[in-house]
Structure 1
């Protein structure tokens, strides 16, 4: 489903954008990190408009589960910290909820 691509692009763009602020404030990086972070957050918002869902609130609810999974991938790939069993369990629960919202039969 093409919407999953948009959801994952949105998630990594949001995480990267927020991480730029984190890096500036918490890791002491230069404030110039905020510039690409801002563009990344704009890209995130644009990607969410591309998903194939009829109402924004439902799109955001589905996105929540994908965002959590993407955050754990970021944790492992970028911050070199593997998720523990509780991270994985929590993400699985959230993805089940997001799947119910996404695939529920609607009239």
Structure 2
């Protein structure tokens, strides 16, 4: 159950961080205003909070592993929200990153 909980937390963190960054982007680059920017800041803060609930106590490990989730999640966000079409290299790169997440987070340790 710990691995499933950890993966769920990574997914929630990805939604908060990627969504927050997208909201800030929309507020600034697409001139949608301060409400979008402020909402993005709140979402980014929630990302930081969600990361603290990971069962592993090592900040560096959590953030390193989350980097792989962020890469894959960003491509998925782009596909769903911005109609981005990743090429095979994007997909291969994301797969490598997700493999790194599994090694960093769930490899057996003493």
Relative to the length of structure 1, the TM-score reads: 0.93
Partner of 1:52: 55
Q: Distance in 1 between matches of 2:86 and 2:30?
A: 21
Partner of 1:65: 68
For structure 1, the 5+ residue unaligned runs are none
Partner of 1:80: 83
CA shift digits 1:18-54 (9 cap, x unpaired): 1112112221211221121111111111110111112
Aligned residues: 107
For structure 2, the 5+ residue unaligned runs are none
Task: Tell me whether 1:22 sits opposite 2:25 in the alignment.
Answer: yes
Q: Distance in 2 between matches of 1:77 and 1:4?
A: 20
Deviation at 1:76, TM superposition (A): 0.5
The runs of at least 4 aligned residues of structure 1 exceeding 2 Å deviation read none
Q: Secondary structure at the match of 1:80?
A: coil
Q: CA RMSD in A?
A: 1.1
